[in-house]
Amino acid sequence: MKYMINNSKFCSGFLIAALLIFINFGCTKNFEKYNTSNLSVSVDMASAFKHIMMAPVNFSGGGDPNSYQVQQNLSADAFSGYHMCAHFGAPNNMTYALNPGWNGEMFKVGYLDGMRYVSLIKNMGVDTKYPAAWAVAQIMQIECMHRVTDYYGPIPYSHAGPLENGQTGSVYDSQQDVYNEFFLQLDTIVTNLKAFISSGQKLPFDFSTMDLIYGNNPSNEFQNWLSYANSLRLRLAIRISNVDPATAKIQGEKALDPNNGGVLTDNSQIVQVQIPAGNFSNPLVAIAKNWVQTNIGASIQCYMTGYKDPRIGKYMDTCSNVAKYGKYRGIRVGTNPQPNESAYSGYSTINFKDGATPSFNLQTPVVLMTTAEVYFLRAEAALRNWSNAGGTADQLYEQGVQTSFNQWNAGSATTYLNDNTSVPDAYNDPLDAGNNASSPSSITVKWDDNASNEQKLERIITQKWIANFPEGMEGWTEFRRTGYPKLFPVVINSSGGTINTAVQIRRIPFSQDEYTLNNAEVIKAIQLLSTPADNGGTRLWWDTGKPNF
């Protein structure tokens, strides 16, 4: 049977269609709610402060130490001679085949875990409402970002953050400009902290609960931050002492000026980040203990065994098989671990297992600056005749060593400091004689006033390097600035000729992502390098390659 169209039926059809459409409208009012994640929160001030404190040696993400491993452990920690990873085969970073996937991490952490949180703190109005807390945030920014510039050289600093109108990419500052900006910021920091301390005021909230560094000592909390700020200024001033001696002296003396509040002098003031509650752990320990992916480096082992350093048992574990590998054995940087990959993990590790109370466990605070380091900085300041060093170079040197011994509960350093015969050991690798190397240096521990300034500096830096263990970034950076301590070079150099084996690696190439995402600016940044070559062989601004005096 056929049915005919007539107007009323057509109309009813459309009516129904219109009805259906009508049903549909007005139901989208919940769409924004649906499209908002149930997991979304906003960041509070405590989270932001804790985050920025955990960022310089990054464990701010909690969980596994993936970020720190590529931020530092597979580069600076190995290049400093402290640590070595016997995995990932060869070539890799540790044989100078620089892995772009790893080496962008320091950059990423600097901005996403460092500066971004400081900017968030500023957006909360902390800079105007609580200048002392803002000073803390800025100290952490400098702590975080000096590592970034000391890694790559030029970095976006004054223009970091969301792009401003008309900007097409983040502009890089030269390393000199970055350092000068640090010093300016430190001026504000010190002014704010001094004003706060002298005013006797209290913050209207309990800052110590969000302060992972000095929060456990609330009565001296901001005084300690002030000492840290001055010590940080001293570290940065010493860093540029060769390339820009005038600025270095001004800044160094400003740091040492007692009117500015003083530097770190006591081990209670060590800049160390407490591991907060939650699934956080000291990332180095986690890699060593849980992952079995980092062992002791050959250099630190040979210096300490050579010097019969009493701290060695605090620093490192004995080998899993002492008869086979010896009591302490490190792995030489740039070794091809295969086919002995598993055997190498039986070499010494940081001390997390043997001994009655191992020095390292997953909750061990992460040290960013030791008090001993500050004594060694002052020793160098004295050597450079800066005023207010507070002692002679030899006094400060010996105080530095003793302070470090105290830090590690290693007793008196007197015998150690009087040893004028022991030199670093040669390196022997029981698994592969191809890795063997002769003693890297003839420098001894005992201070020699008749030695040349260069030798004195080697002594200071060598002991500073031992005292700074296990934090490899400062160790590698100061090695690059001064050439000390004399470290074993890589066994295998896979840099394709860009890095001289003897001179060793000087920097890390710019983040590979920047070439695709911020190309114009990174190309300009290359011109800001000492030579316009973005590779590991190019020296940074403060790395003059000239004698230190």
Partner 1 sequence: MKLSIILLLISCLRVSANTYSQKLNLTLKNASFSQAFSAIEQKTRFRILYSDDLLPENTVNVEVRNEPLTNVLNHILYGSNLTYKVLDNKVIVISRTDAKFQAKTISGTVTDTSGNPLSGVSVMVKGTSKGTVTNAAGVYSIDVPDNNVTLVFVYVGYTIQEIPVNGDTVDVSLIPLEAAAGNDVVVTALGIKRSERDLTYSTQQIGGDELTRVKHTNLINSLNGKVAGLTINANGSGVGGSSKVVLRGSKSLLGNNQALYVIDGIPMNNNTTNQPSTGFGGTTSYDGGDPISNLNPDDIESITVLKGASASALYGGAGGNGVILITTKSGKNGKTQINFSSGATLNKIAYKPDFQNSYGQSLTTDGKGIDSTSIYSWGNPTSNSQDNLSQFFQTGNDFTNSISLSSGSKIAQSYFSYANTTSRGIEPGNKLQRNNFNFKEIGHFLNDKLTVDVNTNYITQNIDNSPNAGFYFNPLTGLYLFPRGRNIAQYKSMYEVPDVATGVPVQNWFDITPENDGSLQFGDDIQQNPWWIINRNTNALQRNRLILNAIVKYDFSSWFNLQARGSIDRINDIYDQKLYATTNPVVSGSNGKYYYSNGVSTQKYGDLIGNFNFSINNSVKITGLVGTSINDSKTVGRFYGSSGSVGLYYPNVFTLQNTITDPATTQDMPENHLQVQSVFASANIAYKDELYLDVTGRNDWSSSLSNTKDGYSFFYPSIGANALLNKIFKMPQSISLAKVRASYAEVGLAPLPYQSNPPIATIGSGGNASLNNTSPATALAPQKTKSWEIGTQWRFLGDRLGLDFTYYNTNTRNQTIQINQSVPTFYGNGYVIAGNIRNRGVELTINYDLISSSDFKWNTAVNYSFNQNKVLELAPGITQSILTGSGNGAQYVSMVKVGGSLGDIYGNVLQKDAQGRILIDSVSKSPIPTSADTSLLGNPNPKWQLGWNNNFTYKNFSLSFLVDGQFGGKVMSVTQQVMDGYGVSAITGAARSAGGVKINGAYQNGTPVTSVDAEKWYTTVGNRNGVAGEYMYSATVVRLREISLGYSLPIKSSVIKALKFSVIGSNLVYFYKKAPFDPGLTMSTGNGFSGVDIFMPPATRNFGLSLNATF
Cis peptide before 470 (omega within 30 of 0): yes
Among 73, 340, 371, 463, binds partner 1 (CB under 8 A): 340
Among 356, 385, 516, 546, binds partner 1 (CB under 8 A): 516
CA angle 303, 309, 312 (to 5 degrees): 90
- Residue with Cβ nearer partner 1 (107 or 328): 107
Binding residues among 465-484 for partner 1 as defined by CB under 8 A? none
Q: Of 66, 146, 74, 62, which Cα lies nearest the Cα of 103?
A: 74
Name the segment binding partner 1 (CB under 8 A); options: 35-43, 77-85, 234-242, 400-408.
35-43
Q: Minimum distance between the CB of residue 138 and partner 1, rounded to whole angstroms?
A: 17
Q: Minimum distance between the CB of residue 343 and partner 1, rounded to whole angstroms?
A: 7
CB contact set of 151 (below 8 Å; sequence gap of 6+): 76, 106, 107, 473, 507, 508
Q: Minimum distance between the CB of residue 498 and partner 1, rounded to whole angstroms?
A: 12
CA angle 215, 220, 221 (to 5 degrees): 35
Could you give the 3-state DSSP secondary structure of residue 493?
A: coil
Give the integer Cα–Cα distance in Å for 22 and 5. 25
Among 156, 252, 262, 330, binds partner 1 (CB under 8 A): 156
E strand intervals along 53-164: 83-84
CB contact set of 221 (below 8 Å; sequence gap of 6+): 207, 208, 211, 214, 215
- Residue 257 contacts residue 388 (beta carbons within 8 Å): yes
Are β-strands 295-296 and 83-84 bridged in parallel, bridged antiparallel, or unpaired? antiparallel
Among 246, 277, 356, 502, binds partner 1 (CB under 8 A): 277
| 76 touches partner 1 by CB under 8 A | no
Binding residues among 167-186 for partner 1 as defined by CB under 8 A? 169-170
- Residue with Cβ nearer partner 1 (376 or 510): 510
| 502 touches partner 1 by CB under 8 A | no
| 360 touches partner 1 by CB under 8 A | no
Among 8, 28, 198, 357, binds partner 1 (CB under 8 A): 28
- Residue with Cβ nearer partner 1 (116 or 480): 116
| 41 touches partner 1 by CB under 8 A | yes
The residue assigned the tokens 């920014």 is 141
As a whole number of angstroms, the longest Cα–Cα distance in the chain is: 121
| 146 touches partner 1 by CB under 8 A | no
Dihedral-angle region of residue 198 (phi above 0 means left; psi in -120 to 50 means alpha; beta otherwise): alpha
Structure tokens at 454: 């260069």
| 285 touches partner 1 by CB under 8 A | no
| 40 touches partner 1 by CB under 8 A | yes
Binding residues among 86-145 for partner 1 as defined by CB under 8 A? 88-89, 91-92, 97, 99-101, 107-108, 110-112, 115-117, 119-120
- Residue with Cβ nearer partner 1 (494 or 544): 494
| 338 touches partner 1 by CB under 8 A | yes
- Residue 86 contacts residue 344 (beta carbons within 8 Å): yes
Q: Minimum distance between the CB of residue 389 and partner 1, rounded to whole angstroms?
A: 37
Q: Minimum distance between the CB of residue 508 and partner 1, rounded to whole angstroms?
A: 15
| 514 touches partner 1 by CB under 8 A | yes
| 315 touches partner 1 by CB under 8 A | no
Name the segment binding partner 1 (CB under 8 A); options: 127-135, 243-251, 287-295, 409-417.
287-295
Please report, for residues 115, 132, 323, 500, 501, the alpha-carbon distance to residue 103 in angstroms, rounded to integers and kept in the order given: 18, 34, 38, 19, 20
| 353 touches partner 1 by CB under 8 A | yes
- Residue with Cβ nearer partner 1 (36 or 259): 36
| 327 touches partner 1 by CB under 8 A | no
Determine the distance from the C-alpha atom of residue 107 to the mean position of all C-alpha atoms in its chain, rounded to a whole number: 11
DSSP state of 72: I
Q: Minimum distance between the CB of residue 60 and partner 1, rounded to whole angstroms?
A: 7
| 323 touches partner 1 by CB under 8 A | no
| 432 touches partner 1 by CB under 8 A | yes
| Cβ-count burial 39-64 (b if 16+ within 10 Å, e if not) | eeeeeebeebbbbbbbbbbbbbbeeb
- Residue with Cβ nearer partner 1 (114 or 472): 114
Q: Of 180, 186, 169, 75, which Cα lies nearest the Cα of 506?
A: 75
- Residue with Cβ nearer partner 1 (320 or 455): 320
| 21 touches partner 1 by CB under 8 A | yes
Among 166, 200, 204, 278, binds partner 1 (CB under 8 A): 278
Q: Total residues contacting partner 1 (rule CB under 8 A)?
A: 100
First-last CA distance in the chain: 109
